[in-house]
Amino acid sequence: MPRMSKKRKQEWALFLNEKIALPTTDFVENAVISASRASVISWYTALNIYRKGEKLNETD
């Protein structure tokens, strides 16, 4: 297998770190946490609205 040239290594260095993995940023991690918190808040809001309103009678 041929070795990569110095130029090619520098091009790939922009996208990959030394561990050959895509680097992550704090922004990405914070966005995931914010999205999960927002979904939890909307879930609890929906539960409260359902509790305050009329409940459906479940019949078999």
The encoded tokens of residue 38 equal 């927002």
The rounded Cα 37 to chain-centroid distance in angstroms is 11
Helix (H, G, I), strand (E, B) or coil at 16: coil
Q: How far apart are CA 32 and CA 60, in angstroms?
A: 40
Q: Does residue 1 or residue 3 have the better pLDDT? A: 3
CB-based contact 4:12 (threshold 8 Å): yes
Quote the CA–CA distance of 35 and 53 in Å, as a whole number.
27
Note the pLDDT tens digit of each residue in 17-52: 655 555 555 666 666 666 666 666 666 666 666 555
Domain residue limits, the chain: 24-50
